[in-house]
Structure 1
Amino acid sequence: MRTISELDAAGLRSHADELADVLRDCVLHGASVGFELPCPREEVRAFWLGLVGSVERGERRLLVVRDDAGVVCGTVQLVLGGMPNGRHRAEISKMLVHSRVRRQGIAQSLMLHAEAIARAEGRTLIVLDTCTGYGA
C-alpha cells in the first residue's frame, strides 16, 4: 500500500538518495524542473540537501509517497515562505513521480495532501508553474 508522509529535516537527509533517484528519473524522462542532461546524481542529491534549512524553518513542507516496498516514488513541496504581503499564498514546487509508477493517481494524491496543508496554514492561493502538452 502506498503511503504519503511529510519529511522533516532529518527525514530529508536520510531519504536524499531516494529523492535524488526520483528527480533524476523525471529529468531523464523529459521533465523541465531546473536540471539539464546528463543530470548527474550528485547534483540532484545536493539540491535536496540544500533544502534542509528551509524545511527546518518551516518555510517548505516536503511530502513523499512510498511504494509498496517503502521506497520513495513521488514527492511534492509546498513552499510557504514569502514576503509579508504574500502570506496568503503558497507555491507548489517539484511535483515529481517516478516513471515506473505514473498514471496511478500518485500526483493527484500528493496535490490533495499539499492543498490540505496549505488550508491548515491559512493559505488561500496556491501557485503552480507547469507546462502544457506534457502527460502530467
Structure 2
Amino acid sequence: MALTFTLDPPVDRELRDGILALWADVTNAGGAVGFVAPVTPEEIRPQLVNHLVDMAKGRTRLLVGRDEEGAVAATAFLTYNPKRIMAHWIWLYTVMVHPRHQGKGYGRDLMAAAADVARELEGVEAIRLTCRGGIGVDNFYAACGYKEVGRVPGAIRVAPGDDRDDIIMLLPL
C-alpha cells in the first residue's frame, strides 16, 4: 500500500512525536540525517524545533508521508533559500523513510512528492540537497533524477578518523 502524503499538516503532539521517533529510528538504523547512532528522540528535539520555527516563519514547508496505519513513515522539509539572488531553488532537508518501509519504493514516492510540491512553488526551478558520502545514498538520489554538482571531501566527521564527503546534488524542475 502506498503512503499518503500531506503538505504542511497541523503540527500537534502526535505529529511532533511521530517525527522524532522516525528520525531516531532512521538514524539508529544507519540513516544519514544529521546525527550518528545511537541517538534518542530527546537528542533530536532541538533540531526538530529549529525546523518547526522555520515553518512558523514561512521559510520551510513540511511534507509528511503516513502509512496505512496512519503512522508518520516519511518526511522531507522543503526550505526556501534566504538569499534573494538564489530564490529560484529550494533546499530539501531531513529526507527520511522509516526502516520498516524501506525497499517498498516509498523513498522514490517521497522524492516524487517533494518534486511535485516544489513545481507548484512560485519561481522555484530546482531542488538542492546534500548527502553524506560513503553510504550510497547519492546513488539513490541520482536514480531520482538528481545530479551531483559538488563535493566537499571529508566535510562530515562521523567519528574520529571517519570523515565522509558532503555531496551536493541538484534536481532541475
TM range (shorter): 0.7 to 0.9
Q: Which has the higher contact order (CA 8 A, sep 6+)?
A: 1
Equivalences for 1:60-71 in 2 at 5 Å? 60-71=60-71
| Structure having the larger proportion of residues in helix | 1
User: 2:34 aligns to what?
Assistant: 34
Structure 1 residue identity aligned to 2:100? R
Contact (CA 8 Å) 1:26, 1:98: kept in 2 or not? yes
Contact (CA 8 Å) 2:33, 2:95: kept in 1 or not? no
What's the CA shift for 1:96? 0.4
What's the CA shift for 1:64? 0.8
Q: Say what the alpha-carbon RMSD is for the aligned residues.
A: 1.9
What's the CA shift for 1:12? 5.7
Q: Which 10-residue stretch deviates more, 38-47 or 86-95?
A: 38-47
| Structure having the larger proportion of residues in strand | 2
User: 2:128 aligns to what?
Assistant: 127
Alpha-carbon distance between aligned partners in 2 of 1:108 and 1:12, rounded to the nearest angstrom: 27
Bigger Rg, which one = 2
Taking a change above 3 Å as real, the CA distance of residues 43 and 84 of structure 1, as seen in their structure-2 partners, is same
What's the CA shift for 1:14? 4.1
C-alpha distance after superposition, 1:36-73 (max 9, x if no partner)? 23212212133223322211222111111111110001
User: 2:8 aligns to what?
Assistant: 7
Secondary structure of residue in 2 paired with 1:128: strand
Contact (CA 8 Å) 1:90, 1:127: kept in 2 or not? yes
Contact (CA 8 Å) 1:64, 1:75: kept in 2 or not? yes
TM-score in terms of structure 2 length: 0.70
Contact (CA 8 Å) 1:12, 1:48: kept in 2 or not? no
Structure 1 residue identity aligned to 2:97? V
Alpha-carbon distance between aligned partners in 2 of 1:76 and 1:110, rounded to the nearest angstrom: 8
What's the CA shift for 1:81? 3.4
Q: Which 10-residue stretch deviates more, 11-20 or 59-68?
A: 11-20
Contact (CA 8 Å) 2:92, 2:127: kept in 1 or not? yes
User: 1:89 aligns to what?
Assistant: 89
TM-score in terms of structure 1 length: 0.87
Percent identity for Structure 1 against Structure 2 = 27
Could you tell me which runs of 5 or more consecutive residues in structure 1 were left unpaired when the two chains were aligned. Answer: none
Number of residue-to-residue matches in the alignment: 135
What's the CA shift for 1:25? 0.9
